Amino acid sequence: MMKIDVLSIFPEMFPGVLGHSILKKAAEKQAVSYNVVNFRDYADNRHQTVDDYPYGGGAGMVLKPQPIFDAVTDLVDKAESKKPRVILMCPQGESHTQKKAEELAREEHLIFICGHYEGYDERIREHIITDEISIGDYVLTGGELGAMVVIDSVVRLLPGVLGSEESHIQDSFSTGLLEHPHYTRPADFRGMKVPDILLSGNHKLIDEWRTKESLRRTYSRRPDLLDAAELSPEQRKWLEDIKKQQ
């Protein structure tokens, strides 16, 4: 079972996300356990202050090292695994990807640190962090929303969490391409019809159609992904045909 600890000064933000849908079911199936900790509880001063003015001046406040160091140390000491991945949610971090989610899903213990204010004391980065992750090139008021996004992307990949193991394998980005279009009943909705091939029962042709549509959508919306995609000779031929049609 994966263990996920989250350090935040706003722990009340998490129950609504962790207590619903797939994340809730994952905990019920004992695929994962969640523990959200207010690292203000580890502050060694009477007023439980976790931030201070930056040396050298400047706008904003900076998170102090002591509460976060002590919180991480305590969580590691209490855990069975002594080598957790300690993840700092930070706009300076590497952009989160499906590949990163798959990598983290193989771990036994993840600790997420959610910051606020202007930033972190640099010694936190230098001495206790294993990963810095950003969910995009923009700045949020804190790391909580980013941590929720990463947790969701990781937990859904754990064994037994999704109803079908093929679900996440066929997700957009898992194959290096965007996912093909989906349709469900009715076959004719207000004159808008499902492609005939999907009603044919010919699974070989259906798979071929889905692959071509995945290539078409990727080329149209995210052509940058094609540079790293591992395509078969047949898929490359289909892609060339798609390019000629544009």
The 10s digit of each residue's pLDDT in 175-199 is 889 999 999 999 999 999 999 999 9
Pick the catalytic residue: 118, 152, 179, 208? 118
In order of start, what are the domains of the chain with their CATH numbers?
Answer: 2-155 (3.40.1280.10), 170-245 (1.10.1270.20)
| 209 token code pair | 């159609």
For the question of residue 91 being annotated catalytic, the response is: yes
Annotated ligand binding at 22? The verdict is: no
Annotated ligand binding at 201? The verdict is: no
Q: What pTM does this model have?
A: 0.90
For the question of residue 118 being annotated catalytic, the response is: yes
Asked if the bond preceding 186 is cis, omega within 30° of 0, the reply is yes
For the question of residue 121 being annotated catalytic, the response is: no
Tens of pLDDT, residue by residue over 6-24, are 999 999 999 999 999 999 9
CA distance 128 to 68: 9
Tens of pLDDT, residue by residue over 37-66, are 999 999 999 999 999 999 999 888 999 999
| 92 token code pair | 């300076």
CA distance 171 to 173: 6
CA proximity to 84, closest of 111, 65, 103, 106: 111
* AA letter at 155: V
Which residues, including other chains, have CB under 8 Å from residue 194's CB and lie 6 or more apart? Answer: 183, 187, 188
CA distance 212 to 197: 13
Q: How confident is the model at residue 117 (pLDDT cuts 50, 70, 90)?
A: confident
